[in-house]
Amino acid sequence: MTAANLLVELFVEELPPKALRRLGEAFAALLADGLRAQRLLAEGAQVTDYATPRRLAVHITQVLARAEDVPQRVKLMPARVGLADGQASAALLKKLRALGQPEEAAARVQCEGEGDAAMLYLDTVQPGAALAEGLQKALAQAIAQLPIPKVMTYQLAQGTPLPGWDSVQFVRPAHGLVALHGAEVVPVTALGLQAGRATHGHRFEAACDPIELKDADSYAAQMREQGAVIASFAERRADIARQIAAATAAAGAGLRAIEDEALLDEVTALVERPNVLCCQFDEAFLRVPQECLILTMKANQKYFPLLTAEGRLSNRFLVVSNITPDDPAAIIDGNERVVRPRLADAQFFYEQDCKKTLESRVEGLARVVYHNKLGTQAERSARVAHIARAIVEQLRQARYPYSAADKDEFDALDSKVQQAARLAKCDLLSDMVGEFPEMQGIMGGYLARHEGLRDGVAIAIEDHYKPRFAGDALPRNHTGAVLALADKLETLVGLFGIGELPSGERDPYALRRLALGVLRILGERKMPLALPALIAAAVPAFGGLIENPQEKLMGFVADRLAISLRDGGASAREVEAVLALPIGRLDELHARLAAVRAFAALPEAPALAAANKRIGRILKKSEGAAPAENVDAALLQEAAEKALFDALQSVAAEAGKRHDAGDYAGELQTLAALRAPVDAFFDEVLVNVEDAKLRANRLALLATLHAAMNRVAELSRLDG
């Protein structure tokens, strides 16, 4: 079969920039899959996607002009129905006509089998699809399955080749369709357009318009040379990154562009031939919180702010232009004039906010609804303060982060946490947060420092939403860690308590992220707090407003924890072994997981894990005959059970010491010495004997062994 390379392009109005990359990749993949399903792609065909603000395109190598015919065996019917005295019956002829076969095809029908089991078959050839037919089908399917964020309905232009169509739906109005197989146009239609070889380049800088494409392989080169367009999204993105690096180096020593992959993707989707230029703004604006200036430049203007070596915002920024004039001064001046009123607005909001203290805004929180079932932000702040106090008390009992003698330190921590909890939500009433919701917490920290609050309190207010996302930093001080933990627990307990649970991909309150935040704070800050006790302490803060969500919330957190541990490199069996025990202190979890991993590598591990599973089954089946409370050494008869008892006494004592010291790896390695006596016990001792006292004593021995082996993790889960 003849094969050539294929190009398909849809030329459209400006596509949504945040969706462009995904649309380009999906269009190429869906079209290639559709052709592959019809056997129109040769082995090893390569797919290249293109996407610019005004086009989606795909280049596919080794596309067949017609798919190969495929031999096909069709099962017809039982021979007793299809044959009458060796001749084709009316039923068989009807079946052949239904399959599009002439009646003469009855002569080619084959019978297989004997007696009533005999069946009739027909060997045929399924003709391969022609490219025009196959591409038409694949193109329609690809367009229908594109991940379009919002569909537009628009009227077709006059004189379209599809009479009777009044309107069409697509992500944006389409104005051109190219389909080239080699140098030949493939006669397909889509979105009311007839395929041709003409397309359009850059809106202002194309050398000619329209561009007549020579063949499928010349597309990228012609678009660059005649159309002034870099058609490849990936190539255009890399070019912007290269230009940003060069412009940053030229802007001044020590400066660096802010890193934002999402912004880089969005800017790549806004330009067809990028030109990065360096601009600046008045240094007086640097008195405004830099997070706000960065946010307005990135979100509203799509600029790349430049930071100093210390991470502070400079008055320089980069703009990615879509045109490349000989003199860029007008573009630079225009962008500097455009950004000034944006920054002036931010400055005005900040100056107005600084005129009021956070304390003066507390009363206003009573007028801000948090949730119709959970009350106002004022009520929420009171609950966060209640939970935070309970956390401090648990820390006091655990002697963290101070010693038991440091009563004043714990009292001071409680005082700072209570003040921060009272003021943390007050920035919701600021003009800055009203304009830039992403400034929640950050603005509160700036206002707290402006009015002279203790730095620890200001930092806690700023950090109490952290970690906001995967990989985000944790709160920087103990006050912030307690407040962040209390804030997240309040949301989790409250929403679970009123039945607002995530389901599938639906998680409008970001509860999965909040649960991971709780886990990270407890684990990474080594806070010696048990999660069940924290949840239990949070419930009373709601009074009778909610149902106790302990069981559901613990299950939800356990699922998040399992995913987090697996993402961190732990195997499914290791995670299952550790989480089979009730979740307690998160600060011990990683040490327990490391201990399980080290134990699993020991040569004794498989046998002990299998024995552990066997012991568990024996104890479960023997629930009707409960073991004795303690092992009676006088009732031990067999040499193997005496040996196991003696080994268990010494090993369990040593393992217990290591466990209490937090040396979980050493504890499990100590248990490896039990392999030989355990194996001998199961080889030589019968547990379920007739004598009830003897049976109970042996069950007690196994129960003691089982408990000693499963303090770090349930080792039976390691048995494959």
User: What is the amino acid identity at position 270?
Assistant: L
The verdict on 389 and 484 lying in the same domain is yes
User: Are 381 and 421 contacting, i.e. CB atoms less than 8 angstroms apart?
Assistant: yes
In this structure, are 137 and 17 located in the same domain? Answer: yes
Helices (H), 568-674: 572-579, 589-600, 605-621, 639-660, 664-671
Question: Are both 438 and 323 inside the same structural domain?
Answer: no
Other residues' Cβ atoms within 10 Å of the Cβ of residue 640: 18
| Domains identified in the chain, total number | 5
Do 60 and 81 belong to one domain? Answer: no
* Judgement on whether residues 607 and 696 belong to the same structural domain of the protein: yes
pLDDT for res 651: 83
Tell me which of 194, 225, 256 is where a domain ends.
225
Q: Determine, yes or no, domain membership for 585.
A: no
* Alpha helices, DSSP H, located in 661-691: 664-671, 675-684
Q: For residues 477 and 410, what is the distance between their CA atoms, to the nearest angstrom?
A: 14
Looking at the fold, whether 278 and 374 belong to one and the same domain comes out as no
Q: Residue 649 belongs to a domain with what CATH number?
A: 1.10.730
Q: Is residue 578 in a domain?
A: no
pLDDT of residue 99: 80
Edge-to-edge strands, sheet with 304-307:
256-257, 304-307, 313-321, 275-280
Q: With contact defined as beta carbons under 8 Å apart, do 219 and 287 qualify?
A: no
CA angle 310, 316, 322 (to 5 degrees): 130
Contacts of 29 (CB under 8 A, 6+ apart): 47, 49
In a domain, 384, yes or no: yes
Task: Mark whether 303 and 436 lie in a shared domain.
Answer: no
Residue 180's domain comprises 3-67+130-225
Q: Are 213 and 162 in contact (CB under 8 A)?
A: no
Instruction: Report the C-alpha gap between 422 and 360 in whole angstroms.
Output: 11
Inter-helix orientation angle 233-251/261-268, to 10°? 120
Instruction: Examine the domain organization and report whether 538 and 655 are in the same domain.
Output: no
**Residue 145 falls inside a structural domain:** yes
Query: Do residues 372 and 445 share a domain?
Result: yes
What local confidence, expressed as pLDDT, does residue 79 receive? 81
The dihedrals phi and psi of 530, each to the nearest 5 degrees, come to -85, 130
DSSP letter at 166? -
- Domain end, chosen from 205, 225, 245, is at 225
Is residue 47 domain-shared with residue 74, that is, in the same domain? Answer: no
Q: What is the mean pLDDT of each run of 10 residues along the chain (720 residues)?
A: 88 94 95 91 92 96 85 82 80 84 81 82 80 92 91 73 66 93 93 92 92 95 95 96 94 88 95 95 93 91 93 94 92 94 92 93 94 94 96 90 78 92 94 90 93 90 92 92 96 93 87 93 91 93 90 91 85 83 83 84 81 80 65 81 83 84 84 83 81 83 83 78
Backbone region of residue 228 per phi and psi (left: phi > 0; alpha: psi in -120 to 50; beta: other values): left
Looking at the structure, do residues 134 and 121 belong to the same domain, yes or no?
no
Asked if 371 and 518 sit in the same domain, the reply is: yes
- In the DSSP assignment, the letter for residue 197 is S
- Domain annotation covers residue 170: yes
Cα(382)–Cα(471) distance, integer angstroms:
29
| Termini Cα distance of the chain | 51
| 354-to-421, 431, 497 alpha-carbon distances in Å | 20, 10, 37
Does the residue 641 lie in any domain? yes
Side chain identity, residue 275: N
Question: What residue type is 123 in one-letter code?
Answer: D
Does residue 581 lie within any of the structural domains?
no
| 634 within a domain of the structure (yes/no) | yes
Instruction: Select from 334, 353, 372 the last residue of a domain.
Output: 353
CA nearest 178: which of 192, 189, 169? 189
